[in-house]
C-alpha cells in the first residue's frame, strides 16, 4: 500500500461543494429484482447516515404500507447528519394544492425535506398531463410555495429536463423559474431517459445556472452508460448536488452510481463530499446483501476484483510499487489490493477487527494466518461476511480461543406435514443440546421450518440462559450461490436478530437450506451470549454450566 501522497491529487477544497442525495430507497427500488422491507430501508438509511450522505429519500408517503412504516420509523430515529426526504409530485391539474391528497401525505410524512417532481418537457405537459404550459407552471409554483409555507426544505426535480430543454428551451426554463418563484431551495436537472450526451449536459447545466439565482443539482440515469460521466460534468459546470443510488440500482439500466461518482468527485476532482470514504466498499456490499443481489465484482472502486492482480509482470510491479497498476490506494475506499498468489492479502482487515474487539495481534502472529486460511476456505464454500459481522467476530474469537462454549449441539430435526380437508400444514422442530452435564430435548411447532427450529432451540436454552428471551429474529434472507448446479446448489442464509437495543447479522451456508438456516441461527444465539456475558459478566453458577 502506498501513502496517499504517492498518488496524483488535485488540492482538496476547504468547503463542501457537492452534496449527496441518495435515492436508493425510492428510485433504486424501481430496478428489476430490487425490493426492500421497511426494516431493510431503515438499516440502509442508518448506514447512509453513518457514511455521510446529506439527503436520504425514503419513498412515496402513502403509496404502500412499507413506505408508510418506513417514515413512521424514520421519525423516531436520531439522524447524525442526513436529512430524510419524502418524494411526490406537484398538485394535480385544476386542483387547489391544499385539496390535493397526495400533497397532504407529503406533509404527513413529517420529513424535514420534501422532493417533488414536475414536467419539463412540453410533450408530457400536453400529451400526458393534458393541460397547458401555464397550468403546469402554476402546479409547480403552487406546490413548492405550499410546502415552503409549512416549513419544509423543498427540492424540485425537473423530470425529463434535458429532453424538454432540447425540444423547447424557453418552456423548460419557464418550469424551473416557476419552482424558483415558489421558493424552491434547489432545482435538480433530471436526465430521466438517460440518453443525453456529456457535452449537452455541460452546456445545458451552464445555461440553467446563468438563468437562475438558486442552486442547481443533477439526477442522471445510465441508459447510455453515461450516468456517472454526466453527473461529473454537470458538477464541473456548476451543479452542487448529485442524486443517485448505491450500486447504481434503478429502473431499466439504473441510476447514477454513487459508489463510482463519490470517489471520483473526492479523489479525482478534489471536492469534499464525505468525511470517511473508507466505508464505501462496506456500504456497497451491505446494500447488495439486503437487496439479495449479487455484488458486481468488477465494479469500479468497490468491486472485489478491481484491485486484483494475477501473475506476470503486473504482480512483480505492484509488489514493488502499487501505483504502477493502481490508480488509487485501495484503502481509500475501504477496498484492498489482492495479489492472487500472495498469502498476505486481507491481513490488515483481520488486525483491525481484532483491535476493535480489544484483542491485540501482531501482524506476523500465527493466529492471523489461521484466520485468513479459514476465511479463504469459508469464502470458497460461499460465505460472505460483509453483512454478517457477528459470524465474522465469532470466527475470530474461536481461532484466538476467546470464545466460551455455551452449549453443545447434539441433534436437530424438522418435519413438514400437510393434513386435513383444507390441507392444513404444520412444521415441527426438535432440538437436543447439552449444557454442562444436562441434556435438553425439546419440540416446538412453527409456521415454517426455521421458525419451528428457532422455537425449539430457544426452549432448550432458556432454562440456562433466560436472557435469550429478549432475542427476536427480525429478518431472514436466502440466496442461491451457484444456481447452475440446479438442486445441488449451495444456499446462503442471512439472519438478522435483535434484543430491543441493537441488532446483529449472522450467516450460514450449505447445500441444504435447513442446515444453512440452522448454522445462521446457532451463530445468532452464540453471538448474543458471547456479547451479553462479556458486557454483564457471567451469572452466578454459570461457569459450571459451560462445557
The answer to whether position 296 is within a domain reads no
Contacts of 454 (CB under 8 A, 6+ apart): 429, 446, 473, 521
Q: What is the CATH number of the domain that holds 399?
A: 3.30.160.340
Contacts of 118 (CB under 8 A, 6+ apart): 89, 90, 136, 139, 140, 143, 156, 157, 158, 159, 175, 179
Q: What is the CATH number of the domain that holds 169?
A: 3.20.20.70
274 vs 334: CA distance, rounded Å: 13
Which run of H or of E encompasses 477?
strand 472-480
Cell numbers placing 526: 452464540
Find the range with the poorest average confidence among 146-160, 175-189, 198-212, 461-475: 461-475
Cell numbers placing 503: 441488532
Could you say which of 254, 275, 291 is where a domain stops? 291
Closest by CA position to 524, among listed 547, 546, 502: 502
The reply to whether 124 and 267 lie within a common domain is yes
What is the phi/psi pair of residue 202, to 5°? -60, -50
What is the phi/psi pair of residue 229, to 5°? -60, -45
Which pLDDT belongs to residue 420?
Answer: 65
Could you read off the pLDDT of 368-419 as tens digits, one per residue?
Answer: 888 888 888 888 888 887 678 889 889 988 988 888 899 999 999 988 887 7
The answer to whether position 302 is within a domain reads no
The reply to whether 371 and 283 lie within a common domain is no
The answer to whether position 540 is within a domain reads yes
Count structural domains, the chain: 2
Which run of H or of E encompasses 287?
helix 280-291
Does pLDDT of 246 surpass 70? yes
527 vs 371: CA distance, rounded Å: 18
Q: How far is CA 378 from CA 217, 369, 372, 393, in A?
A: 44, 14, 10, 14
Which pLDDT belongs to residue 432?
Answer: 94
The answer to whether position 420 is within a domain reads no
485 vs 510: CA distance, rounded Å: 13
| 1 contacts 334 by C-beta, under 8 angstroms | no
Contacts of 346 (CB under 8 A, 6+ apart): 336, 338, 372, 375
The answer to whether position 452 is within a domain reads no
250 vs 339: CA distance, rounded Å: 33
Could you say which of 291, 316, 336 is where a domain stops? 291
176 vs 179: CA distance, rounded Å: 5
Cell numbers placing 54: 446529506
Which pLDDT belongs to residue 488?
Answer: 64
State the DSSP string of 230-267: HHHHHHHTT--EEEEBGGG--STT-B-BHHHHHHIIII
The answer to whether position 478 is within a domain reads yes
The reply to whether 225 and 111 lie within a common domain is yes
The reply to whether 261 and 381 lie within a common domain is no
90 vs 97: CA distance, rounded Å: 8
| pLDDT band, residue 328 (cuts 50/70/90) | confident
118 vs 166: CA distance, rounded Å: 17
330 vs 445: CA distance, rounded Å: 49
164 vs 169: CA distance, rounded Å: 7
The reply to whether 390 and 539 lie within a common domain is yes
pTM, rounded to two decimals: 0.69
The answer to whether position 299 is within a domain reads no
Which run of H or of E encompasses 425?
strand 424-435
Could you say which of 274, 291, 308 is where a domain stops? 291
Could you read off the pLDDT of 436-482 as tens digits, one per residue?
Answer: 999 999 999 988 888 999 999 999 999 999 999 999 988 898 988 87
What is the phi/psi pair of residue 215, to 5°? -60, 155
The reply to whether 283 and 354 lie within a common domain is no
| 234 contacts 222 by C-beta, under 8 angstroms | no
| 36 contacts 471 by C-beta, under 8 angstroms | no
Residue numbers of the domain that contains 528: 346-406+465-547
Amino acid at each position: 500500500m502506498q501513502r496517499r501522497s504517492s498518488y496524483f491529487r488535485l488540492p482538496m477544497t476547504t468547503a463542501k461543494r457537492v452534496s449527496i442525495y441518495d435515492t436508493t430507497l425510492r428510485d433504486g427500488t424501481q430496478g428489476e429484482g430490487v425490493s426492500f422491507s421497511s426494516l431493510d430501508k431503515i438499516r440502509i438509511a442508518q448506514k447512509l447516515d453513518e457514511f455521510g450522505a446529506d439527503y436520504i429519500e425514503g419513498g412515496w408517503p402513502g403509496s404502500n404500507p412499507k413506505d408508510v412504516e418506513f417514515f413512521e420509523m424514520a421519525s423516531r430515529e436520531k439522524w447524525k447528519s442526513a436529512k430524510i426526504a419524502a418524494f411526490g409530485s406537484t398538485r394535480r391539474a385544476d386542483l387547489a394544492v391544499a385539496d390535493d391528497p397526495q400533497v397532504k401525505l407529503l406533509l404527513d410524512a413529517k420529513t424535514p425535506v420534501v422532493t417533488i417532481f414536475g414536467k419539463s418537457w412540453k410533450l408530457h405537459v400536453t400529451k400526458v398531463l393534458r393541460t397547458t404550459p401555464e397550468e403546469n407552471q402554476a402546479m409547480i409554483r403552487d406546490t413548492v410555495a405550499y410546502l415552503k409555507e409549512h416549513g419544509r426544505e423543498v427540492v424540485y426535480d425537473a423530470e425529463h429536463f434535458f429532453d424538454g430543454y432540447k425540444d423547447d428551451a424557453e418552456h423548460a426554463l419557464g418550469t424551473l423559474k416557476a419552482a424558483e418563484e415558489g421558493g424552491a431551495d434547489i432545482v435538480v436537472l433530471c436526465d430521466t431517459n438517460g440518453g443525453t450526451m456529456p457535452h449537452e449536459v455541460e452546456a445545458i447545466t451552464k445555461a440553467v445556472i446563468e438563468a437562475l439565482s438558486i442552486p442547481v443539482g443533477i439526477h442522471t440515469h445510465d441508459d447510455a452508460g453515461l450516468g456517472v460521466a454526466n453527473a461529473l460534468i454537470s458538477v464541473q459546470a456548476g451543479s452542487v448536488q448529485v442524486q443517485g443510488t448505491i450500486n447504481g440500482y434503478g429502473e431499466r439500466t439504473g441510476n447514477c452510481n454513487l459508489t463510482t461518482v463519490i470517489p471520483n468527485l473526492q479523489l479525482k476532482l478534489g471536492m469534499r463530499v464525505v468525511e470517511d470514504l473508507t466505508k464505501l466498499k462496506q456500504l456497497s456490499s451491505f446494500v447488495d446483501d439486503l437487496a439479495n443481489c449479487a455484488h458486481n465484482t468488477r465494479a469500479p472502486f468497490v468491486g472485489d476484483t478491481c484491485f486484483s492482480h494475477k501473475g506476470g509482470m503486473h504482480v512483480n510491479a505492484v509488489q514493488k510499487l502499487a501505483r504502477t497498476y493502481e490508480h488509487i490506494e485501495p484503502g481509500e475506499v475501504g477496498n484492498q489490493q489482492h495479489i492472487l498468489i500472495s498469502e498476505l492479502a486481507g491481513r490488515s482487515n483481520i488486525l483491525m477487527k481484532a483491535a476493535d474487539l480489544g484483542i491485540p495481534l501482531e501482524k506476523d502472529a500465527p493466529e492471523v494466518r489461521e484466520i485468513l486460511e479459514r476465511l479463504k476456505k469459508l469464502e470458497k464454500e460461499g460465505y460472505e461476511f460483509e453483512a454478517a459481522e457477528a459470524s465474522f467476530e465469532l470466527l475470530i474469537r474461536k481461532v484466538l480461543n476467546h470464545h466460551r462454549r455455551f452449549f453443545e449441539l447434539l441433534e436437530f430435526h424438522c418435519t413438514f406435514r400437510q393434513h386435513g380437508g383444507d390441507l392444513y400444514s404444520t412444521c415441527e422442530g426438535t432440538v437436543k443440546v447439552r449444557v454442562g452435564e444436562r441434556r435438553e430435548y425439546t419440540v416446538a411447532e412453527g409456521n415454517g421450518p426455521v421458525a419451528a427450529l428457532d422455537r425449539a432451540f430457544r426452549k432448550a436454552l432458556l432454562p440456562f440462559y433466560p436472557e435469550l428471551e429478549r432475542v427476536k429474529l427480525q429478518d431472514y434472507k436466502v440466496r442461491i450461490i451457484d444456481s447452475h448446479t440446479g438442486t445441488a446448489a449451495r444456499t446462503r442464509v442471512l439472519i438478522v436478530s435483535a434484543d430491543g437495543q441493537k441488532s446483529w447479522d449472522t450467516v450460514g451456508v450449505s447445500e441444504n437450506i435447513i442446515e444453512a438456516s440452522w448454522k445462521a441461527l446457532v451463530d445468532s444465539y452464540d453471538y448474543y451470549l458471547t456479547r451479553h456475558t462479556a458486557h454483564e459478566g457471567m451469572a452466578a453458577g454459570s461457569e459450571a454450566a459451560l462445557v
